[in-house]
């Protein structure tokens, strides 16, 4: 890992109308890095889910801001979606927790699928949320170069 990490930071209103701007920036950055079409589409779905969580849950009816940071490394792209709104109550993952596998689709809480989608589509997903301090979702996708595909 010899390359220095480059950052692109976008601050947007927490409004669904602005999620497309994040997706367009993601497309530009990821395609320039050499990600496949399929990987870019996966990342677009994941980043949309993270942004929509901020839009839907962080600020209620009052306006707020969402900060999206793209960290461009030599062989990976990390996307951080951060808001300063209300922390949402995410399912605690303990041994006794009921997972999606134990439920019918209509029993899943609204918004609950977003994190499963992010985890399925990205290589790493970390969520940090504290009451009164907002929520931060960091998703990472590693670049698989063609010589690594055998």
Whether the pLDDT of residue 39 is over 60: the answer is yes
Q: Choose between 98 and 78: higher pLDDT.
A: 78
Burial readout 103-114 (b: 16 or more C-beta within 10 A, e: otherwise): eeeeeeeeeeeb
Mean pLDDT of 24-44: 96
Whether the pLDDT of residue 44 is over 90: the answer is yes
Q: 12: closest CA among 114, 82, 97?
A: 82
Distance between CA 15 and CA 7 in Å, rounded?
A: 23
Name the token pair of 69. 């940071």
Whether the pLDDT of residue 150 is over 50: the answer is no
Whether the pLDDT of residue 59 is over 70: the answer is yes
**Amino acid 83: pLDDT:** 92
Whether the pLDDT of residue 72 is over 90: the answer is yes
Whether the pLDDT of residue 45 is over 80: the answer is yes
Beta bridge partners of 82: 67, 136
Strands in the chain per DSSP E: 6-13, 65-72, 76-83, 124-130, 134-142
Mean pLDDT of 55-75: 86
* Domains in the chain: ranges and CATH: 6-148 (3.30.565.10)
Q: How far is CA 105 from CA 66, 101, 102, 119, in A?
A: 29, 9, 10, 17
Distance between CA 81 and CA 139 in Å, rounded?
A: 9
**pLDDT grade, residue 53 (50/70/90)?**
confident
In this prediction the pTM is 0.78
User: Residue 23 — left, alpha, or beta (φ > 0 → left; ψ -120 to 50 → alpha)?
Assistant: alpha
Q: How far is CA 116 from CA 33, 113, 147, in A?
A: 26, 5, 30
For residues 54 and 84, the answer to whether their CB atoms sit within 8 Å is no
CA torsion sign, 57 to 61 to 64 to 68? positive
Whether the pLDDT of residue 23 is over 50: the answer is yes
**Amino acid 74: pLDDT:** 87
């Amino acid at each position: 890992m010899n390359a220095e990490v480059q950052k692109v930071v976008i601050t947007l209103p927490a409004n669904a109308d602005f999620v497309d701007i994040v997706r367009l920036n993601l497309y530009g950055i990821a395609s320039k890095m050499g990600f496949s079409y399929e990987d870019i589409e996966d990342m677009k779905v994941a980043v949309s889910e993270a942004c929509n969580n901020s839009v839907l849950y962080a600020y209620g009816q009052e306006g707020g801001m969402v900060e999206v940071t793209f960290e461009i490394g030599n062989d990976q792209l990390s996307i951080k979606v951060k808001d300063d709104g209300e922390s949402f109550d995410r399912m605690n993952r303990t041994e006794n927790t009921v997972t999606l596998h134990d439920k019918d689709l209509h029993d899943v809480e609204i918004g609950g699928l977003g994190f499963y989608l992010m985890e399925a589509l990205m290589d790493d997903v970390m969520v940090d949320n504290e009451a009164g301090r907002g929520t931060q979702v960091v998703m990472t996708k590693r670049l698989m170069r063609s010589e690594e595909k055998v």
